[in-house]
């Protein structure tokens, strides 16, 4: 068969395949990107890594002041999924000590599966490393370097990244007349009998049970004060 005849038979077929490939590519391009819910469980949704340069830069002068004695290598950057107060899935991020990174990932995975509501999980640096501002926004956070009150050598549990505060507005710190955050005062008293407190942490709460299972201590069990939001290891 002449070469010209062969080419004339092949060219239409090639054009047909090219057209089909174009249509399939266009269809794939138009598909919606996977939602956070669809990506749940993947490394992008729940992950622990060394602190990226951009995040470390953000932390300088905030959660990492000049007096910070905790090294970057001792800390980890976590990304987790959680259900917000609005019932929607959100991506959260926090800094913690590497010693509890795996614990937190496992706990947040279980909370996510149970659709447990955590209003927000954002770096405390987004609040200028101001604990009160972060708590007033009901922000869940972990690492924020500081020494214990009255000391210049003893680092607090938050200062080491070994403590985390969950839904702090509704689970405030209480000692006598001192309540932190101040706007959490209406959630501070008679908690055992009340059922009107949203996101309340008590001994029947899933969050409490998971943290205790992983060896954490709960501030709500303290004697001289109560820190209902607080878990430490």
Q: Report how far residue 166's alpha carbon sits from residue 217's, in angstroms, rounded to the nearest whole number.
A: 13
The answer to pTM > 0.85 is no
pLDDT value, residue 1 = 54
The per-residue DSSP string of 90-158 comes to EEEEEEEETTTHHHHHHHHHHHHHTT-B-SEE--GGGGTT-HHHHHHTTEEB-----BPTT-SSPBPHH
214 burial via Cβ count (<10 Å: 0-12, 13-18, 19+)? middle
Higher pLDDT, 204 or 20: 204
166, 207 Cβ separation under 8 angstroms:
yes
State pLDDT tens for residues 4-54. Answer: 554 455 445 455 544 544 444 544 444 444 455 545 445 568 999 999 999
State pLDDT tens for residues 159-194. Answer: 999 999 999 999 999 999 999 999 999 999 999 999
Q: Is the peptide bond before 27 cis (omega within 30 degrees of 0)?
A: no
State mean pLDDT over 58-85. Answer: 98
């Amino acid at each position: 068969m002449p070469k010209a005849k062969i080419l004339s038979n092949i060219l239409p077929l090639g054009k047909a395949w090219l057209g089909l490939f174009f249509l399939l590519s266009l269809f794939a391009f138009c598909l919606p990107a996977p939602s956070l819910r669809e990506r749940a469980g993947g490394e992008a949704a729940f992950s622990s890594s060394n602190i990226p340069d951009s995040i470390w830069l953000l932390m300088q002068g905030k959660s990492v002041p000049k007096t910070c004695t905790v090294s970057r290598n001792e800390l980890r950057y976590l990304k987790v999924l959680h259900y917000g107060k609005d019932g929607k899935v959100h991506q959260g991020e926090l800094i913690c000590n590497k010693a509890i990174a795996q614990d937190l990932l496992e706990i947040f995975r279980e909370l996510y599966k149970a659709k447990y509501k955590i209003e927000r999980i954002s770096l405390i640096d987004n609040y200028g490393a101001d604990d009160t501002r972060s708590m007033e926004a009901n922000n869940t956070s972990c690492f924020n370097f500081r020494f214990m009150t009255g000391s210049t050598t003893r680092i607090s549990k938050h200062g080491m990244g070994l403590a985390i505060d969950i839904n702090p507005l509704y689970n405030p710190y209480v000692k006598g007349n001192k309540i932190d955050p101040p706007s959490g005062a209406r959630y501070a008293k008679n908690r055992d009998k009340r059922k009107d407190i949203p996101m309340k942490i008590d001994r029947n709460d899933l969050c409490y049970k998971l943290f205790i299972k992983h060896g954490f201590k709960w501030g709500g069990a303290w004697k001289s004060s109560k820190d209902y939001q607080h878990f430490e290891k």
